[in-house]
Amino acid sequence: MADIIMPANMENFDRLMDFIQVEAENAGFDKKLVNKIRLACEEIIINVINYAYPDKEGDIEIKCNSNKDGSGFFIKIIDWGAPFNPLAKPEPDINAPADEREIGGLGIFLVRKVIDKFDYTREGNSNILTLFKYLS
């Protein structure tokens, strides 16, 4: 188990990402899976930085944890911004031609693609996103 909380801003982006990378490596993921975990977490972290606190500063918390039988790894990403359920977002049209495609909208789509389980809950005034990835 490891846990980090700090202000959700770009200055802390590398520290948050490094924290996750080391935890994923320690949990035993190979390089390719570590990068998938980084990808999923980056997309969520960037959204918290960009959207969770529109007119104030706020924190982000990341908790990493192997599951009981050691077959997988949980990452919880928590913010205290307005309620937002990323699972409720419609998927972008990834087949749209480049000229019509909106720049953006891919983030949550990619999270779904690389993560094995994905859960959202609102608890009190916090948004809790739980990502789960099997070790292999």
Partner 1 sequence: METNFSINYENKVVKVTLSGSLDAKRAPALADEIKKLIGKDIEKIVFFAKDLEYISSAGLRVIIFSKQKIGIDIKLYMVGATEGVLDVIKMSGIDNIMEITDTYEE
Ligand X SMILES: Nc1ncnc2c1ncn2[C@@H]1O[C@H](COP(=O)(O)OP(=O)(O)O)[C@@H](O)[C@H]1O
The SS3 call for residue 120 is: strand
Binding mask 25-44 for ligand X (x = CB under 6 A): ------------------x-
CB of 131 to partner 1, least distance (A): 15
**Hey, which bits of 1-124 come out as E strands?**
2-7, 59-66, 72-79, 117-123
Instruction: Select the binding partner of residue 32 from partner 1, its own copies, ligand X, none (C-beta < 5 to 8 A, by kind).
Output: partner 1
Q: How many residues bind partner 1 (CB under 8 A)?
A: 27
- Is 39 near partner 1 (CB under 8 A)? yes
Query: For the purposes of burial, counting CB atoms within 10 Å of the CB of 133, is it exposed (0-12), middle (13-18) or buried (19 or more)?
Result: buried
Within 50-79, the residues that bind its own copies by CB under 8 A are 59
Tell me the two tokens of residue 5.
């909380």
- Tokens 């972290």 sit at which residue? 45
Q: Which residues bind ligand X (CB under 6 A)?
A: 43, 47-48, 51-52, 81, 84, 86, 89, 104-109
